[in-house]
Amino acid sequence: MAKTYDIVVVGGGPGGYVAAIKGAQLGAKVALVEKEVVGGICLNHGCIPTKTFLKSAKVYKTLQHANDYGVTNSGTVGFDWDKILSRKNGVVKQLTNGVAFLLKKNGVDVYNGFGEVKSASEVVVNGETLQTKNVIIATGATAVVPPIPGVKEAYEKGIVVTSRELLNVKDYPKSIVIVGGGVIGVEFATVFNSFGSKVTIIEMMDGILPTMDDDVRQAYAKTLKRDGIEILTKAEVKKVNDHKITYSFEGVETTIESDLILMAVGTRANSKGLEHLNLEMDRANIKTNEYLQTNVKGIYAIGDVNGKYMLAHVAEHEGVVAVEHILGKGHQKMNYDQIPSCIYGSPEIAAIGLTEKEAKARGIDYKVSKVPLAAIGKALADGEKEGFAKLIVDKKYLEVIGAHIYAYNATELISEYSVAMKAEATAYEMAHAVHPHPTLSELTLEAALGAIDKPIHV
């Protein structure tokens, strides 16, 4: 006899496992189907592993500059790639074990296998039929390997890699070409450049990080170039022949050689095999509304598979919104104008809301407050001077409509703006919330003061 559930979640990444746990906490009978390891790309092959690499790179860089802090280091600073890989694997295992424990503790039935969604009421896994009232599709996305001549062959030889393979490369590359100047591309550029690799970024657009605010993009590109990373923009990869990669720039073709070639040109939603459900699609992405409902009653789609934002925290929040909607426990909607995004370079980048270009395009009467990091005492004490905060408010009420931070630990600062935007706070509230001294959070305070009138310490 088929087992019956209130919700069956297909895919155990950040969106899927959070949805499953939340559903169980709200009293629903929930099953989670995952063909690999719980945690998905983010935990196993993405966000978390890259952060362990970046931490190792940061420690290495700090030790190289120990003298700047009055700390003498007589020995030569080196790194052990095997130990860096081993540390990464240990962190990942601890977290995936933790997620598995949480699912079990909350009474979620986990099925390890490929989930075939037959309809809104039936999912088949390992030949077993699960009857359900609702299905949440959380199948994620896969890195694209573009159909450029020679790429497929080089990929099969392990010369061309996606981020997934790069995270397990045993031999440290002396040189790496990164195709794509988006988030994944620049984070890996930071890691390998820190350890001494020759890094080249090839990007088709007119600059790196096309979705970020122009001030941030320009400052960051300048930093990467200063650190020795070569950035080729408006350049198109034409062919790959083993370690040789040929690109075209202004009609001229150039060939360069590299130990590894990282393809970081984007992802494609894992929606294959769902065609019979007659879901409304946008290319490979499943179309959803603000409650994550698809056009088929009882079927929801969250995370990368709906193509809205390729971010783990968006998938998690969508999972909660979908489950609450299914169970009639609250009427929260997704507001995609209030999504924080983070880039873990050196310095970090964090942003939320509109860029200045977007505010202009929407015809908003806005005001910009920009405060340099060097104005903040704690930053100087930490030996960090590079960066700024840029706050965009509407002129009438000084309500926060966008914030862009380029600074060390920027990713920890952005949540204050996230709360401010959710609460419809203005620069007045932010300026009158007492910020402790000396802290990096004073950057937020000074930006708010600048939006009202003038910052104190600039």
- If asked whether residues 14 and 106 sit together in one domain, one would say yes
- Phi, psi torsion values for 298, nearest 5 degrees: 90, -5
Reply yes or no on whether 437 is catalytic: yes
Share of the chain above pLDDT 70, in %: 100
**Residue in 45, 435, 437, 457 annotated catalytic:** 437
Assign residue 185 the CATH number of its domain: 3.50.50.60
The predicted model gives 157-175 an average pLDDT of 95
Intra-chain end-to-end CA distance of the chain, in Å: 71
- If asked whether residues 189 and 308 sit together in one domain, one would say no
The predicted model gives 367-385 an average pLDDT of 97
Rounded distance between C-alpha atoms, residue 184 and residue 209, angstroms: 10
**Is 337 part of any domain?**
no
- If asked whether residues 129 and 252 sit together in one domain, one would say no
Q: How confident is the model at residue 76 (pLDDT cuts 50, 70, 90)?
A: confident
Q: What is the pLDDT of residue 437?
A: 98
- If asked whether residues 10 and 119 sit together in one domain, one would say yes
- If asked whether residues 381 and 442 sit together in one domain, one would say yes
The amino acid sitting at 204 is M
Report DSSP state, residue 244: E
**Is 426 part of any domain?**
yes
The amino acid sitting at 85 is L
Mean pLDDT of the chain: 96
Cis omega (within 30 of 0) on the bond before 347? yes
**Is 186 part of any domain?**
yes
Cis omega (within 30 of 0) on the bond before 340? no
Report DSSP state, residue 19: H
Rounded distance between C-alpha atoms, residue 170 and residue 301, angstroms: 36
Rounded distance between C-alpha atoms, residue 368 and residue 172, angstroms: 44
- If asked whether residues 441 and 376 sit together in one domain, one would say yes
DSSP code per residue over 105-168: HTTPEEEES-EEEEETTEEEETTEEEEEEEEEE---EEE-----TTHHHHHHTTSEE-HHHHTT
Q: What is the pLDDT of residue 74?
A: 75
- If asked whether residues 67 and 88 sit together in one domain, one would say yes
**Is 314 part of any domain?**
yes
Helices (H), 176-283: 183-194, 214-226
**Which residues is 300 bridged to in the sheet?**
136, 293
Which amino acids are annotated as binding site for NAD(+), given as ranges? 180-187, 203, 266
Last residue of a domain, one of 230, 247, 265: 265
**What's the total number of domains in the chain?**
3
Q: What is the pLDDT of residue 144?
A: 93
Rounded distance between C-alpha atoms, residue 317 and residue 308, angstroms: 13
Which amino acids are annotated as binding site, given as ranges? 51, 115, 180-187, 203, 266, 304, 310-313
Range of the domain at 187: 151-265
Instruction: Check: CB of residue 36 under 8 Å from CB of residue 44.
Output: yes
What digits encode the pLDDT tens for the residues 266-278?
999 999 889 999 9
Last residue of a domain, one of 265, 285, 300: 265
**Is 338 part of any domain?**
no
The predicted model gives 128-149 an average pLDDT of 96
Between strands 141-143 and 160-161, the pairing is: unpaired
What digits encode the pLDDT tens for the residues 2-41?
899 999 999 999 999 999 999 999 999 999 999 999 999 8
* pLDDT above 90: residue 176: yes
DSSP code per residue over 399-430: BEEEEEEEETTHHHHHHHHHHHHHTT-BHHHH
Which amino acids are annotated as binding site for FAD, given as ranges? 51, 115, 304, 310-313
- If asked whether residues 134 and 278 sit together in one domain, one would say yes
Token digits for 29? 């009978």
Report DSSP state, residue 265: S
Q: What is the pLDDT of residue 57?
A: 95
